[in-house]
């Protein structure tokens, strides 16, 4: 049998290939919605609770990143909260997702990306329902097989994939653990962060290509660690200050 690390490498490789083969239409659709959102002067937001929030951090204020992605980073479901088990309790608290969104400057025809691997917890479902009621386009990154195998924790019985306008499957594993090791019952090594980052950066690449093809110069950050990077990025922040809310 291959070493566990080698099997993990191969498994990640297979997942990424599966995403490329099976999620092209969803990625293209998501990119088109985000392109139109930007061209119409609207704004894009991203949210995830606990480790799902790592993808939110992946998307904003970074070299090579699109400046118009606004993070929603509710303190109680971030990984620096103590005790960390509070994140589990808060993502199941009814109404909390709605409250978070109501304190976010999101508007009709904006886009909201929600990352939730299981898609079953109340926070993501409440947020998606509220966003839809506001006329916001909801893009979900989730694991369809995992989500379909579990019961919703929301009072409606719905899951994130039942609500979102566009669903992108991360093509990962049930429970998000992937590799078996002899002598251990529980699988080890999640895949959702790697897969999710690949998916969302693929979407961003397509958005940028769409914008360029439409004659719109997309605001892409340079590294702050190159000469002139700070000045270039500050010009972007100044130009788009009404659509970049993470500087306030």
List, for residues 116-134, the tens digit of each pLDDT value.
999 999 999 999 999 999 9
Structural domain includes residue 162: yes
CA distance 143 to 167: 9
245 found inside a domain: no
Q: What is the pLDDT of residue 123?
A: 98
Q: Does residue 144 have a pLDDT over 80?
A: yes
CA 168 to chain centre: 10
Average pLDDT of the chain, as a whole number: 96
In a domain, 66, yes or no: yes
Q: 80: how many CB neighbours lie within 10 A of its CB? A: 7
Per-residue confidence at 61, pLDDT binned at 50, 70, 90? very high
Instruction: List the one residue out of 78, 248, 230, 59 whose CA is nearest residue 139.
Output: 59
Residue 192 domain-assigned?
A: yes
d(CA 54, CA 219): 22
pTM higher than 0.85? yes
pLDDT of residue 2: 80
What is the C-alpha separation between 123 and 7, in angstroms, rounded? 34
Predicted confidence at residue 6, as pLDDT, reads 95
Helix (H) / strand (E) element for 48: namely strand 44-48
pLDDT in tens, 5-59: 999 999 999 999 999 999 999 999 999 999 999 999 999 999 999 999 999 999 9
Residue 180's CATH number: 3.40.50.10490
Q: pLDDT class for 245, splitting at 50, 70, 90?
A: very high
Confidence grade of residue 248 (pLDDT, cut at 50, 70, 90): confident
In a domain, 170, yes or no: yes
Residue 158 confidence (pLDDT): 98
**Can you list the alpha helix ranges (DSSP code H) found in 76-213?**
86-90, 96-102, 122-133, 144-149, 160-163, 192-213
Residue 23 maps to a domain = yes
**How many structural domains are present in the chain?**
1
- The single-letter DSSP state of residue 134 is T
Q: Is residue 248 part of a domain?
A: no
Structural domain of residue 19, as residue ranges? 4-240
Q: φ, ψ for residue 186 (rounded to 5)?
A: -80, 130
pLDDT digits (tens, 9 = 90+) for 175-229: 999 999 999 999 999 999 999 999 999 999 999 999 999 999 999 999 999 999 9
Inside any domain, residue 61: yes
pLDDT at 194: 98
């Amino acid at each position: 049998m291959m070493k566990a690390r080698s099997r993990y490498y191969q498994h990640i490789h297979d997942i990424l290939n599966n995403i490329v083969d099976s999620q092209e239409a969803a990625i293209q659709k998501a990119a088109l919605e985000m392109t139109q959102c930007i061209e119409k002067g609207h704004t894009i937001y991203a949210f995830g609770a606990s480790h799902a929030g790592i993808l939110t951090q992946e998307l904003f204020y970074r070299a090579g990143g699109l400046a118009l992605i606004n993070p929603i980073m509710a303190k109680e479901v971030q990984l620096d909260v103590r005790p960390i088990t509070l994140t589990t309790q808060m993502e199941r608290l009814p109404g909390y997702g709605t409250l978070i969104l109501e304190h976010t400057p999101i508007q009709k025809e904006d886009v909201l990306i929600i990352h939730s691997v299981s898609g079953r917890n109340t926070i993501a479902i409440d947020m998606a329902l509220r966003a839809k009621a506001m006329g916001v386009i909801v893009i979900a990154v989730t694991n369809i097989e995992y989500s379909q195998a579990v019961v919703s924790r929301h009072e409606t019985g719905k899951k994130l994939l039942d609500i979102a306008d566009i669903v992108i499957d991360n093509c990962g594993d049930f429970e998000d653990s992937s590799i078996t090791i002899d002598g251990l019952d529980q699988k080890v090594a999640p895949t959702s962060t790697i897969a999710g980052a690949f998916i969302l950066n693929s979407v961003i690449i397509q958005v940028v290509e769409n914008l360029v093809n439409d004659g719109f110069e997309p605001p892409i950050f340079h590294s702050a660690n190159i000469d002139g990077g700070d000045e270039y990025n500050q010009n972007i922040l100044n130009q788009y200050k009404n659509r970049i809310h993470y500087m306030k």
